[in-house]
Every structure is written in structure tokens, then in C-alpha cells.
Amino acid sequence: MPRIVVLRVGHRVPRDSRVTTHVALVGRAFGADEIWVDKKDGGLERRVKDVVERFGGSFRIRTGVGWRRSMREWKGRVVHLTMYGEPLDEALAKIPSEDLLIIVGAQKVPGEVFEMADFNVAVGNQPHSEVAALALFLDRLLGGEGLRREFSGSITVVPSARGKVVEEDAT
Ligand code: SAM
């Protein structure tokens, strides 16, 4: 199974902390293995690790990771999600089944990222959100498999048409 890492570029503490938390949680829930964030943010690390501890899985977070070096040293393909890119369906047909580094921006992304990426991919050509772009990209890439994975945490939400059904492992 190819490894999927999300790289968040331009993260500002504390301004982007909430949205970057959502980027991380969407990455985890939709099939990514890790998130790397370019600025050190201890609070963000704690929040994401806390979700992983309670809800399970092996999702990892690293912050204070340089984006240029990460892109340069990445062994698989690099996908940059941007409204200026090529249409999602056309790009998906070309992206090989290899390890993927998926870049999402916070503030304006440096032009170099566009040059260094193997694919600049647009989830529609309108401005919207890194959270939505990442969710749609992962879901289309993995054909929905990301959402069907088992996480085996100490908290398990049991799907229910009505109300909340939650199982908690007391150990
Ligand atoms: N204002 C910034 C700029 O001018 O580049 C971008 C802000 S936007 C909310 C943050 C990120 O959302 C972008 O870097 C991109 O990764 C993602 N994004 C927003 N709209 C997108 C779209 N239509 N397709 C793909 N990614 C998108």
C-alpha cells in the first residue's frame, strides 16, 4: 500500500491552528498516514495525538518540517492541491500508485512549489478550502477505501441511524 503524507505549507501559529487541525483530522479519516507541518506547533501536535490515542490508528504528525527539503527528498510523487492546477479527473488518471506527498497551502504558496510538484491538481478551479480539497482528493484517489478502514481505538463509534452509539474500552 503506498504511503500518503500531507504537507501543510505556510502554517501560522496560532492563526491557522484550527484549520490545520482539520486538515490533519481529514487526512487521518480519509486515508493519509501522516501530516507534516512546516512550522513548529506543539499544541497542534498534542490535539492530533490525542485524537489518535482515543480513536485509534497509526496516523502521525510532525511539525517544524521544512517544505523545500521535504519536497526535494521525497522518494515518491508530489501532488500540490491548487485551484490553478489541472482538473482532478485528468490528473488522477496520470498519478501512479506510488508514495504520495500531498501539499496544501495556508497562506500564498511560494511559486517554487508549483515548479517542484509533479502534479498541480485543482479540485474545481474556484477558490474554496484546503480541508475540502484534501477530502475530495483522497476520496477520489482511494475510491472511498480511506473511509472504510478500521481504526481499532479505545473509542469506537457504532454507526447508527438515530442517536449516538459509542463503545469505550475501559482498559
Ligand atoms: N490565499 C491563498 C493563495 O492565494 O494562494 C490560498 C488560500 S486557500 C484557502 C488554501 C489552500 O486551499 C490552497 O493552498 C490549496 O491547497 C487549497 N485549495 C483551495 N481551493 C482549491 C481548489 N479549488 N483546488 C485545490 N486546492 C484548493
What CATH number is associated with residue 148? 3.40.1280.10
CA of residue 161 to ligand 1 center, whole Å:
34
- What residues have CB less than 8 Å from 10, skipping those under 6 apart? 16, 38, 105, 106, 107, 108, 109
Residue 146 is part of which domain span?
4-168
Over residues 57-80, mean pLDDT:
98
pLDDT of residue 98: 97
In testing the pocket of ligand 1, which one of 23, 79, 83, 131 has its CB within 8 Å of the most ligand atoms? 83
Task: Decide: 129 in ligand 1 pocket, CB within 6 A.
Answer: yes
Average pLDDT value over all residues in the chain: 97
- For atom 23 of ligand 1, which residue has the closest CA? 83
Under the banding of pLDDT at 50, 70 and 90, the label for residue 119 is very high
Task: Decide: 128 in ligand 1 pocket, CB within 6 A.
Answer: yes
CA of residue 47 to ligand 1 center, whole Å:
24
pLDDT of residue 1: 81
Over residues 2-31, mean pLDDT:
98
| Sheet strands (E) in the chain | 4-9, 34-37, 60-63, 77-87, 100-105, 119-122, 155-157, 166-168
Beta bridge partners of residue 153, listed in sequence order: none
pLDDT at 89 over 80: yes
Quote the Cα angle for 16-131-147, to 5°.
Answer: 135
Which atom number of ligand 1 is nearest to the Cα of residue 121?
25
Count CB neighbours of 109 within 10 A.
20
- What residues have CB less than 8 Å from 154, skipping those under 6 apart? 53, 54, 56, 168, 169, 171
Under the banding of pLDDT at 50, 70 and 90, the label for residue 166 is very high
- What residues have CB less than 8 Å from 76, skipping those under 6 apart? 2, 3, 98, 99, 100, 101
Which atom number of ligand 1 is nearest to the Cα of residue 105?
14
Over residues 101-109, mean pLDDT:
97
pLDDT at 171 over 90: no
**CA–CA separation, 113 vs 34, rounded Å?**
20
Over residues 145-160, mean pLDDT:
94
Task: Decide: 10 in ligand 1 pocket, CB within 6 A.
Answer: no
Q: What is the pLDDT of residues 27-64, one digit of tens each?
A: 999 999 999 999 999 999 999 999 999 999 999 999 99
Complete DSSP assignment for 126-171: S---HHHHHHHHHHHHHTTHHHH---B-SEEEPP-SSS--EEE---
pLDDT at 123 over 90: yes
pLDDT of residue 93: 98
- What is the total count of domains within the chain? 1
pLDDT at 170 over 80: no
**CA–CA separation, 66 vs 68, rounded Å?**
6
Over residues 67-89, mean pLDDT:
98
Task: Return the SS3 of 102.
Answer: strand
pLDDT of residue 102: 99
pLDDT of residue 59: 98
